[in-house]
Amino acid sequence: MQPGPVSPNVIAFPGNRPPSQVGFDRQELARILDLYGRMVAAGEWRDYAMHFDKHCASFAAFRRTAEVPQLRVEKRPAMRNRQGMWALFGEQGQVLKRGHELSNVLAPVERRLVKVIED
């Protein structure tokens, strides 16, 4: 008994469909974690958290574990063509800076780091 004709199963290649969640690429995460490490060394931050969903990826830095984040960086690709996909939020959730480049959005935090080290 011979098997009948086999119909080919078509499986979509993972790169052809939109991602199920937004994330940071290697350079972005390295830039954010470098700043985090310098702020930890300066005694400003002690903990962090990351959150990923289908609309945005966020990195939050905390002074202490049980507090609200002192700072939050968000990447929202849907905002790429409007105000920029990067946003920096303060402790009360206010938008401190928006932009198309991560380095420009992190600049106010890096300036604050320079002041902390000079004190």
Specify the pLDDT at position 113. 76
How many structural domains comprise the chain? 1
Predicted confidence (pLDDT) at residue 31 exceeds the cutoff of 60? yes
User: What's the confidence (pLDDT) of residue 50?
Assistant: 92
Q: What is the pLDDT of residue 117?
A: 58
Name which of 85, 87, 82, 52 is nearest 71 in CA terms: 87
Banded model confidence at residue 35, pLDDT cuts 50, 70, 90: very high
Q: Determine the Cα–Cα distance for residues 21 and 13; give it in Å rounded to an integer.
A: 17
Is 81 part of a structural domain of the chain?
yes
Confidence category of residue 10, pLDDT binned at 50, 70, 90: low
* 4: in domain: no
- Residue 16 falls within a domain, yes or no? no
* 74-117: pLDDT as tens digits: 998 888 888 889 999 988 889 999 999 999 999 988 887 776 55
pLDDT at 83: 83
The 10s digit of each residue's pLDDT in 42-55 is 888 889 999 998 99
Altogether, the residues listed in the chain come to a count of 119
Domain coverage including residue 63: 21-118
Helix (H) or strand (E) holding 72: strand 71-75
Is 89 within a domain?
yes
* Residue 80 counted as domain residue: yes
